[in-house]
Amino acid sequence: MKPTDFSFYLTGFLTKYLPGETGASKNTIGSYRDTFILFLRFLRDVKEIPTDQLTLSMVTKNNVVEYLDWIEENRRCSTSTRNVRLAALHSFFKYLQYENPDNLLEWQKILSIPVKKTEKKTINYITLDGIKLLLKMPNSSTMAGRRDLALLSLIYDTGARVQEIIDLTPSMIRFDKPYTIKLIGKGNKARIIPLMEPTIKILKVYMEEQGLLKISANLYPLFFNNRKEKLTRAGVNYILTKYKNLARKEDQTLIPEVFSCHCLRHSKAMHLLQAGVNLVYIRDILGHTSVQVTEIYAKTDSKQKREAIENAYVDVLPHEEPEWHKNEDLLSWLRSFNK
């Protein structure tokens, strides 16, 4: 069967345009691919359009809007997920504007579909005492415990995203002073993060035990499972959940029931802010594109707000007894007024 124009352009978009021209990461390309897998499934099951017969002329704004409604209502996806799927579709139809302008009007109609407003969630983070408790949980007398301590310490110390930790190799750590680590973030952007000496000591013990300090191991995964494969997101979350539950048995007030790896990132940012670190430096450590993204931490930190207000507070309220209090006739009249 002859390939359709839709399959031709979608293949070019995923295999050439995204990795070659935009430099999109594997995770982004995987997310976009998943969006189109669902879109094709929707067209097949709901609109009864077979995938092998789908052409660009069959893709309309109405179909896209119905697809977005379908993933929210039938698949119970959140508004945020809907917006992620829409972003992937928008990227494809921006690409088509130049690669296949024959249906330009329809592409622009699809590009006019707005993202939905989402409820802004509060940042979930824990105190320094909570971090200390969590890092006490791994059993350092076992090999698995030493790996887990190194993993959790590094996530917190660097404020890294989970995927950034998963993608680490031994070559990305500098053990000469000043200690640093290179993280590869969104859009394959690299950044250098300072490492503290206590974390370096924990890492050295773990890496020496695993043979990761050898030059031949430079490109091995820094953290791996029993099959010597790098950890997955699910694997890292499993480790965190294990120690979160242990810590909660010791003190539920310090560790919330809902606590993810990203909460460690939030916690690091909040602790840096509370220590007086400039937002610009926190932005660079977290790998944010703009300091405006980082400002959310300043808006969240009510303790810092209160201290700033208290430090700036000037007492302007009167402390002397008002004149009318000294006027017995006026005072008597006011007390009897409207009785």
Same domain, 148 and 178: yes
Domain containing residue 94: 5-111
CATH code: domain of residue 26: 1.10.150
Do 181 and 261 lie in one domain? The reply is: yes
Q: Per-residue pLDDT for 325 more than 60?
A: no
Point out the least confidently predicted range of 129-133, 169-173, 214-218, 335-339.
335-339
Assess whether 274 and 176 both reside in one domain. Answer: yes
> Domain holding 239: CATH number?
1.10.443.10
State whether 228 and 189 are in the same domain: yes
The reply to whether 57 and 136 lie within a common domain is: no
3-state SS, one letter per residue, for the chain: CCCCHHHHHHHHHHHHHHHHHHCCCHHHHHHHHHHHHHHHHHHHHCCCCCHHHCCHHHCCHHHHHHHHHHHHHCCCCCHHHHHHHHHHHHHHHHHHHHHCHHHHHHHHHHHCCCCCCCCCCCCCCCCHHHHHHHHHCCCCCCHHHHHHHHHHHHHHHHCCCHHHHHCCCHHHEECCCCCEEEEECHHHCEEEEECCHHHHHHHHHHHHHCCCCCHHHCCCCCCECCCCCECCHHHHHHHHHHHHHHHHHHCCCCCCCCCCHHHHHHHHHHHHHHCCCCHHHHHHHHCCCCHHHHHHHHHHCHHHHHHHHHHHCCCCCCCCCCHHHHCHHHHHHHHHCCC
Confidence tier at 271 by pLDDT (50, 70, 90): confident
The total domain count for the chain is: 2
pLDDT at position 112 is: 95
Give the mean model confidence (pLDDT) for residues 14-24: 89
pLDDT digits (tens, 9 = 90+) for 78-109: 888 999 999 999 999 999 999 999 899 999 99
Task: Decide if pLDDT at 326 tops 80.
Answer: no
pTM higher than 0.95: no
